[in-house]
Amino acid sequence: MKLFDVYPINPIEIVKGVGSLVYDAQGTEYLDLYGGHAVISIGHTNPRYVKRLEDQLHQIGFYSNSIEIPLQKQLAEKLGKVSGKEDYQLFLCNSGAEANENALKLASFYNGKKKVIAFRKAFHGRTSLAVAATDNPKIVAPVNETDNVIFLPWCDEAALEKAFAENEISSVIIEGIQGVGGIQVATESFLQKIRTLCDQYNAVFIADSVQCGYGRTGKFFSHDFAGVNADIYSMAKGMGNGFPIGGIIISPKIQPSYGMLGTTFGGNHLACAAALAVLEEMAENNLMHNAAEVGAYLMEELKKFEQVKEVRGRGLMIGIELPEELAHVRKELLYKHHIFTGEAKPNVVRLLPALNLSKAHANRFLQAFAQVLESSKETVA
Ligand SMILES: Cc1ncc(COP(=O)(O)O)c(C=O)c1O
């Protein structure tokens, strides 16, 4: 049997990882500033994480949501503390798309309405409603097409007001920082406007925090910078440091009922053990503070390169916009300097490293980046 060929892959086989470093089958070391797409939050093979999972595996790996799973309650409590949303309720699932799917569905159960506001260049996942709220027609199958999603320009307050006035809006879904969309930071006033209009029209504010959340920006949710609360926050990626887990946290104003949401795998013992290890590591080693500090340092240094068009982001979610003639930079970083980075179209290098990235590793990247830009000058000249 062959694999279903949907990924344009790099011909590199990573066989080992430690912290922010990974190694290929030939033993070559790479600096990982991509974190497998913002997933590695506390570093590869973090000892606390490995031990927690190993210990749990010897106890029990899985049982369904038909029995008591105290680990879920411990996770909810810890998540409430670390995120500062202690009065919210946690529903666990397995991925970011599934988290958003549940958030959008729950909003509609709550207010009985159908229309969803999403934004240009948004990415919310590939399940039916999440993909319908994703602004990329190439990944929306005909069966997923719906009139229920209204796409608005990014951070356009007048367009938002008009859409609310003209439609029965169930929910607004927004990334605090668009990831796939090229590291675009939502303005604080726009997030505040969403809050006001959702209150005015009894709509649900959904903060997609799958990529920009979980401490990456220096605050637990990037939407927190606006000083307002969303009704539902979706999360995944960094939550399990590689173990598949997602979830939504839900404001106390939305009440549950039996059968409203459900999942077979969500919240299983192993997933909870992984997520608890992540939160413990974050809290004990102050990783949000490190993300803010090392991220601010990186952004400040990156802004000094004259060939860089713009540096955007917060904490360790950074986009470096380059001119077209520097489209080769990412490849050179990977193949010449052995540094993994992410990308966003058309020409943005995305940095999404582990939250405990050291300043030494940040400097290693800056030196390599300077060399690539310097050699590009010679080529262009
Ligand atoms: C903002 C955002 N939402 C949702 C998703 C979907 O997450 P998953 O791939 O875990 O389904 C992603 C994935 O990249 C994302 O970046």
pLDDT in tens, 44-98: 999 999 999 999 999 999 999 999 999 999 999 999 999 999 999 999 999 999 9
Nearest residue to 339 via CA among 367, 379, 308: 367
Compute the distance from residue 244 Cα to the ligand 1 centre, in Å.
12
Q: Could you tell me the domains of the chain?
A: 14-45+289-380 (3.90.1150.10), 47-284 (3.40.640.10)
Residue 377's pLDDT is 82
266 C-alpha to center of ligand 1: Å?
A: 16
CA of 95 to the centre of ligand 1 (A): 8
| Minimal-distance CA residue to ligand 1 atom 8 | 96
For residue 37, which atom of ligand 1 is closest to its CA? Answer: 14
Share of the chain above pLDDT 90, in %: 98
What was the pLDDT predicted at 345? 84
What is the average per-residue pLDDT within 289-304? 98
Summarize pLDDT for 317-371 with one digit per residue, the tens. 999 999 999 999 999 999 999 999 999 988 999 999 999 999 999 999 999 999 9
Half-sphere exposure of 124 (CA within 13 A, CB side): 36
What atom in ligand 1 is closest to the CA of residue 244? Answer: 10
Band of the pLDDT at 381, cuts 50, 70, 90? low
Instruction: Name which residue sits closest to atom 16 of ligand 1, judged by CA.
Output: 211
Query: Which residues line the pocket of ligand 1, CB cutoff 6 A?
Result: 95-97, 100, 123-125, 175, 179-180, 208, 210-211, 236
Q: Answer whether residue 380 shows pLDDT above 80.
A: no
Distance in Å from the first CA to the final CA of the chain: 49
Region 193-202: what's the mean pLDDT?
A: 98
Q: How far is the CA of 379 from the centre of ligand 1 (A)?
A: 37
Query: What confidence tens digit (pLDDT) does each residue in 220-263 have?
Result: 999 999 999 999 999 999 999 999 999 999 999 999 999 999 99
Q: What is the 3-state secondary structure (H, E, C) of 153-188?
A: CCCCHHHHHHHHHHCCEEEEEEECEECCCCCEECCH
Q: Whose CA is nearest to atom 7 of ligand 1?
A: 96
C-alpha 260 to ligand 1 mean position (Å): 23
Closest ligand 1 atom to Cα of 178: 1
Do residues 161 and 197 touch, judged by C-beta distance below 8 A? Answer: yes
Predicted pLDDT at 41: 98
Q: What is the CA radius of gyration of the chain?
A: 21
Residue pLDDT, tens place only, 154-196: 999 999 999 999 999 999 999 999 999 999 999 999 999 999 9
Mean pLDDT for the chain?
97
pLDDT tens digits, one per residue of 10-27: 999 999 999 999 999 999
Point out the ligand 1 atom lying closest to the alpha carbon of residue 95: 10
For residue 116, report the distance from its CA to the centre of ligand 1, in Å.
Answer: 18
Nearest CA to ligand 1 atom 9: 96
pLDDT given for residue 81 in this prediction: 98
Ligand 1 pocket test: which of 237, 239, 245, 248 has the largest number of ligand atoms within 8 Å of its C-beta? 237
Q: Tell me the best of 174, 211, 222 to mutate to test the pocket of ligand 1, counting ligand atoms within 8 Å of each CB and taking the most.
A: 211
* Per-residue pLDDT, 325: 94
Compute the distance from residue 178 Cα to the ligand 1 centre, in Å.
Answer: 11
Residues 6 or more apart from 248 whose CB is under 8 A from it?
90, 91, 93, 99, 102, 103, 106, 232, 233, 234, 235
| pLDDT band with cut points at 50, 70 and 90 for residue 379 | low
Q: What span, in angstroms and rounded, lies between the C-alpha atoms of 254 and 153?
A: 28
